[in-house]
Structure 1
Amino acid sequence: MAGAIGPQEVKQLKGMSAGVWALVLTLSVVWGGSFFFVEIAVTELPPLTIVLLRVGLAAITLHLVLRLAGQGLPSTPAVWGAFFGMGLLNNAIPFSLLVWGQTHIASGLAAILNATTPLFGVIVAGALLADERATWSKVAGVVVGFAGAVVMIGFGALEGLGSDLVAQLACLGAALSYAFAGAFGRRFRRLGITPLQTATGQVTASSLLLLPMALVFEQPWTLPLPSLETGLAVIALAVLATAFAYILYFRILAVAGATNLLLVTFLVPVTAILLGSLVLGERLSTEHFAGMMLIALGLAAIDGRPLRWIAERRGRADRP
């Protein structure tokens, strides 16, 4: 079968190359802005309308890119069934839950709850994917990385924990849906679908899923025209944090696996805080450096190569 996972691909899943880490870092920067853009958009637009605009504009953008690249979308029922499954798990459900959650809780707390995605990812991938079984180093790395995300964002963001329980459960539900999407998305490589085709098909399917819901429940044509600031935030959310982001997403998923892909959520607060320091002149605190250190340790444990290098060094030292 085209694109089947062979021994070489399985070997690559155990440790990511520098190029893949660069893609992960880029994706974390792009997705880091999504919480900010949503925070602006929810002041004037209802949740389903925001999500529909996000995936709809992203679909238009990606269809243009697909045409410029000289590619088309497959028309087989099996592929479109996979597109709709991915659109539901990776867009329609989590986007709606996160946007609705952010209408009730602060973006910082939403980001912390979203950082549970790799924990769910290790569990789901370990249960469903034969070549991504959960290991103690992966679990420990996820726990340490999550602790680092909490430290970086700040314990103050946890002050509202428990007060808006349904909204917080919605954000956790989004993280769980992302985890299932990471495992589900591995099938596109086996189907021989390129990352660009997968990204385009996914947002197209999710747009079709969300359109009737937004029309029935929110009637967006009755809403007042949003401000320029909100309009620009929605465009950035669609073009950068969705269209461009999902091209990177499916490329990483194809070469590095579901568990490694979900590490992006740990790096989102790191890149957001570093960008704030470099671009806006914000000062880095001790908590920021401590959080970065914990996240680095967690990523090292999940990646596995630093631990294997230490073990090999010790083995050599113990030899006579």
Structure 2
Amino acid sequence: MPTANASRSSPTPDAPSRFQVSVAVQFVLAGLVWGSSFLFMKVALDGLSPAQVVWSRLVLGALALGLFVLIRREPLPRALRVWGHMFVLAITFCVVPFLLFSWAQQHVTSGLASIYNATTPIMTAIMAGLVLRVEKLRPAQVAGIALGIAGVMVIIAPWQGLDLSQSIVAQFAALGATASYGFSLAYMRRFVANTGMSAVMFSFLNIGMAAAIMLVLSPALILTPVQLTPWITVCVLLLGILGTGVVYVWNQNTVRAWGPTRASTVTYITPLVGVLLGVLILGEHLTWNEPAGAVIVFIGILLAQNRLRFGRSPAVAAETKKADGDVSAPAS
């Protein structure tokens, strides 16, 4: 799942081409791992409760990121204000959405969960423009949000009948998770965009504080029986060490080299990977409305992020470019 860019630097124009290749490889790997995370969660839920899955991925991710911090010998931030904001983000960017997605995947396919995850940029535009008011929504962005909502309705398919079964509730839980991501990304832009933290430190504090919260809640959430198989164990390890640890560093490297707007196009990779793995490995089935709704959502994202250039004025283009230095979108 991608994070905000706390302090971004760009390579010089004459930077070696191998640096750009390295960034591109990290970008692709991030998309592949985050897309696979929905498969990992689905398999892990065969032997663990949703809370146990979240506990495991956060603790393992924190340990992996903590190792990076130790190797780099980076000092922790001293300002209490930074710690306060990071505590808020630990809840809204990790604990809440991770729990919602894990619970939802008990009742929906991993492929459908990955499609819903792609609505994060739409939710971010709503939160940034209407809730935290860190940017002014333009008519094209409003149209993009409306189109994205229409795409979600196509995915839910209300014409099939809304009986409020667990599946429908689970789909709204997945949307609640992306709304939490959207709030967090807008919050980052408003409160932590200029803290000076490195990508590694930002990710470590975010995941580490979320892991600490889950550890405190252990008696209430995770002290239930588990059933571990080699397949479940491997998926939990990959979800935690890679999907909630190493990939955050890869994503931040991409954000710093390309900017958050380009880096957030990882959102387009994750549902493709998630759906493909769900069909090939888990034998999941797609209905026509799910990919159709996803296409509508993607078009809405392009509008909401000012990426469709329908005669944009230089002022709008300049403002969009400036916003490129603020936030990036998570994947799972």
Greater relative contact order structure (CA < 8 Å, 6+ sep): 2
- 1:47 corresponds to which residue? 50
> What are the superposed Cα offsets for residues 103-125 of structure 1, whole Å, 9 maximum, x if unpaired?
23333333343333222211111
- State the SS of the aligned residue for 1:190: coil
Please tell me whether the aligned partners of residues 38 and 274 of structure 2 are also in contact (alpha carbons under 8 angstroms).
Answer: no
Which whole-Å CA distance do the structure 2 matches of 1:276 and 1:100 have between them?
Answer: 17
Letter in 1 for 2:193: R
Which whole-Å CA distance do the structure 2 matches of 1:205 and 1:154 have between them?
Answer: 34
- State the SS of the aligned residue for 1:43: coil
Which whole-Å CA distance do the structure 2 matches of 1:109 and 1:273 have between them?
Answer: 7
Which whole-Å CA distance do the structure 1 matches of 2:221 and 2:277 have between them?
Answer: 38
- State the SS of the aligned residue for 1:88: helix
Please tell me whether the aligned partners of residues 51 and 95 of structure 1 are also in contact (alpha carbons under 8 angstroms).
Answer: yes
- 1:216 corresponds to which residue? 220
Let me know the Cα RMSD of the aligned residues: 4.3
Q: Which runs of 5+ in 2 are unaligned?
A: 1-5, 9-19, 282-286, 315-332
Which whole-Å CA distance do the structure 2 matches of 1:161 and 1:225 have between them?
Answer: 33
Judged with a 3 Å threshold, the aligned counterparts in structure 2 of structure 1 residues 236 and 143 are, in CA distance, closer, same or farther, namely farther
**Aligned equivalent of 1:202, options 177, 201, 206:** 206
Letter in 2 for 1:216: A
State the TM-score, normalizing by the size of structure 2.
Answer: 0.70
> What are the superposed Cα offsets for residues 234-281 of structure 1, whole Å, 9 maximum, x if unpaired?
111012211123224555667745x877664444223445789999xx
Identity %: 29
Please tell me whether the aligned partners of residues 111 and 271 of structure 2 are also in contact (alpha carbons under 8 angstroms).
Answer: no
Judged with a 3 Å threshold, the aligned counterparts in structure 2 of structure 1 residues 41 and 292 are, in CA distance, closer, same or farther, namely closer
Structure 1 residue 79, shift from structure 2 partner: 2.2
Q: Which runs of 5+ in 1 are unaligned?
A: 6-16, 280-284, 313-320
**Aligned equivalent of 2:303, options 301, 304, 307:** 301
Which whole-Å CA distance do the structure 1 matches of 2:136 and 2:274 have between them?
Answer: 31
Whether 2:188 is the aligned partner of 1:185: answer yes
**Aligned equivalent of 1:176, options 174, 179, 184:** 179
**Aligned equivalent of 2:246, options 238, 244, 247:** 244
Please tell me whether the aligned partners of residues 7 and 197 of structure 2 are also in contact (alpha carbons under 8 angstroms).
Answer: no
Kindly name which structure, 1 or 2, has the bigger radius of gyration based on alpha carbons: 1
User: In proportion to residue count, which structure has more helix?
Assistant: 1
Which whole-Å CA distance do the structure 2 matches of 1:135 and 1:250 have between them?
Answer: 28
Letter in 2 for 1:217: L
Letter in 2 for 1:70: R
Please tell me whether the aligned partners of residues 112 and 150 of structure 1 are also in contact (alpha carbons under 8 angstroms).
Answer: no
- State the SS of the aligned residue for 1:172: helix
Which whole-Å CA distance do the structure 1 matches of 2:59 and 2:153 have between them?
Answer: 33
Aligned length: 291
- 2:121 corresponds to which residue? 118
Which whole-Å CA distance do the structure 1 matches of 2:39 and 2:54 have between them?
Answer: 14
- Aligned counterparts, 1:146-165, within 5 A: 162-164=164-166, 165=168
Structure 1 residue 26, shift from structure 2 partner: 4.8
Please tell me whether the aligned partners of residues 113 and 172 of structure 1 are also in contact (alpha carbons under 8 angstroms).
Answer: yes
